[in-house]
């Protein structure tokens, strides 16, 4: 007991020291306080960069936004990933198997939070390699540090397994980029890499409801649906210092489905949307898919539309995602619509605008 108390005291002293060196920060302090047995791993990262200010800020960004990041694990998920892998060689999975797993919902699987298990070496390697790739590319000088943190630095995309992926992807694809393009245009660099990825192939497989498949799985198994090929593009581009994320709509006005695509952040600040298996990257793409609201997946926690939104059970779960940003204004011109209502509108969280996908159901958006 005495030894345990001494270890806790030392941890608190180290945390205060690191925080003072990094300019404070209530978010990082709160994360360290809630990390429990894994606090020392996070402190190791902060201490490692104590005398490297920019990398220390990058570490603080990752740690401050870490608490809600997680991985779903379970034997069912592992089994379905194996089936996806087998579908590359065997083709379509039987209707009986698909029907058997149709009701499976991975969100009921065991949750492993990053804050509880992530190791210092994963974060340190990720930060060092992200900086190395970023500083190698001339276009990095035209972006802000905030752009780097959100669109290049993150060690994960969504709820995939925690893995050391960045070095593997860099060593595989950096020679490819160097051989295909030596210029300063980030869009051209992304274009040649996207074309290369298309040549590597991708098997479309939309069966089964699964979390993000993971960097190491996708490196060797190019299978899944639109979100999965966007994940591949994200791992590859970020490993090369190309700022990229993933945008999506939850429901199309024309199709009874959601859709994901890659979003390259240009040096002009404009987004360049693309899906590498569909068409070549151009700065002014002509997308034939109609969209309603467009959302962006982020690593950083996004500001709440009102205080307590993310914990308000009266709000549909879709809108309580802390890593989702409304990116509609980057795709559509501003438009204003006036609505009249005979009912009193709750000013607490407002109303929904509906996009009808058929005659009966509708998806609702802020």
Supply the angle between the helices 226-239 and 186-200 in degrees, to the nearest 10. 130
Task: Taking residues 46-65, report their average pLDDT.
Answer: 97
d(CA 162, CA 211) in angstroms, rounded, equals 13
Task: Taking residues 294-299, report their average pLDDT.
Answer: 95
Token pair, residue 335, equals: 């438009």
Token pair, residue 295, equals: 């959302």
Write b or e for each residue in 88-111: b if 16 or more Cβ atoms lie within 10 A of its Cβ, otherwise e.
Answer: eeeeebeeeeeeebeebebeebee
Q: Has residue 364 got a pLDDT over 50?
A: no
pLDDT attached to residue 312: 84
Q: What percent of the chain has pLDDT over 70?
A: 86
d(CA 59, CA 132) in angstroms, rounded, equals 15
Q: Has residue 20 got a pLDDT over 70?
A: no
Token pair, residue 2, equals: 């005495």
pLDDT attached to residue 317: 81
pLDDT attached to residue 266: 96
Using alpha carbons, select from 36, 28, 34 the residue that is nearest to residue 7: 36
pLDDT attached to residue 59: 98
Q: What sign does the CA torsion over 340, 343, 348, 349 have? A: negative
Phi, psi (5° rounding) for residue 138?
A: -65, -30
pLDDT attached to residue 346: 64
**First-residue to last-residue Cα distance in the chain:** 51
CB-facing half-sphere around the CA of 29: CA atoms within 13 A? 12
d(CA 192, CA 214) in angstroms, rounded, equals 23
pLDDT attached to residue 6: 38
Q: Cα–chain-centroid distance for residue 70? A: 11
pLDDT attached to residue 318: 82
- Strand pairing report for 295-297 and 324-326: antiparallel
Q: Has residue 343 got a pLDDT over 80?
A: no
Q: Which of 10-24, 133-147, 163-177, 225-239 has the lowest mean pLDDT?
A: 10-24
pLDDT attached to residue 123: 98
pLDDT attached to residue 194: 98
Q: Which of 15-24, 64-73, 94-103 has the lowest mean pLDDT?
A: 15-24
Using alpha carbons, select from 88, 84, 85, 81 the residue that is nearest to residue 109: 81
Q: Has residue 12 got a pLDDT over 60?
A: no
pLDDT digits (tens, 9 = 90+) for 303-333: 887 788 888 888 888 888 899 999 998 988 7
Choose the most confident range, by mean pLDDT, from 36-50, 245-259, 340-354.
Answer: 36-50
The residue ranking higher by pLDDT, 4 or 335, is 335
Task: Taking residues 254-276, report their average pLDDT.
Answer: 90
pLDDT attached to residue 22: 40
d(CA 260, CA 257) in angstroms, rounded, equals 10
pLDDT digits (tens, 9 = 90+) for 114-168: 999 999 999 999 999 999 999 999 999 999 999 999 999 999 999 999 999 999 9
Token pair, residue 355, equals: 């996009």
Q: Which of 46-60, 131-145, 199-213, 301-315 has the lowest mean pLDDT?
A: 301-315
pLDDT attached to residue 257: 77
Q: What is the dihedral of CA 44, 151, 298, 173, to 10 degrees?
A: -90
């Amino acid at each position: 007991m005495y030894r345990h108390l001494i270890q806790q005291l030392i941890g608190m002293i180290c945390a205060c020291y690191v925080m003072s060196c990094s300019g404070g920060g209530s978010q990082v302090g709160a994360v360290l306080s809630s990390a429990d047995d894994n606090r020392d791993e996070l402190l190791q990262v902060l201490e490692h960069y104590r005398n490297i200010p920019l990398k220390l800020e990058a570490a603080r960004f990752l740690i401050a936004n870490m608490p809600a990041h997680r991985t779903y694990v379970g034997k069912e998920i592992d089994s379905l990933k194996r089936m996806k892998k087998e579908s590359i060689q065997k083709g379509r999975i039987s209707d009986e198997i698909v029907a058997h797993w149709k009701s499976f919902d991975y969100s009921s699987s065991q949750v492993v939070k990053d804050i509880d298990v992530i190791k210092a070496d994963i974060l340190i390697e990720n930060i060092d390699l992200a900086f190395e790739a970023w500083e190698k590319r001339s276009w990095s000088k035209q972006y802000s540090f905030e752009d780097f943190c959100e669109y290049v630095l993150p060690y994960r995309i969504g709820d995939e397994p925690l893995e050391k992926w960045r070095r593997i992807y860099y060593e595989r694809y950096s020679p490819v980029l160097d051989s295909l393009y030596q210029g300063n245009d980030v869009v051209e660099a992304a274009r040649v890499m996207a074309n290369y990825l298309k040549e590597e192939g991708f098997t479309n497989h939309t069966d089964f409801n699964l979390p993000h498949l993971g960097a190491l799985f996708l490196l060797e198994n190019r299978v899944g649906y639109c979100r999965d090929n966007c994940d591949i593009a994200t791992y590859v581009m970020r490993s090369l210092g190309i700022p990229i994320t993933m945008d999506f709509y939850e429901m199309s006005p024309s199709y009874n489905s959601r859709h994901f695509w890659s979003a390259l952040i240009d040096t002009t600040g404009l987004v360049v949307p693309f899906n590498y298996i569909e068409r070549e990257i151009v700065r002014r793409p002509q997308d034939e898919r109609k969209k309603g609201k467009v959302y962006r997946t982020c690593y950083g926690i996004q500001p709440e539309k009102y205080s307590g939104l993310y914990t308000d059970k009266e709000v549909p779960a879709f809108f309580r995602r802390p890593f989702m940003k409304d990116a509609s204004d980057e795709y559509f011109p501003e438009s204003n619509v006036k609505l009249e209502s005979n009912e009193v509108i709750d000013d607490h969280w407002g109303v929904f605008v509906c996009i009808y996908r058929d005659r009966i159901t509708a998806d609702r958006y802020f």
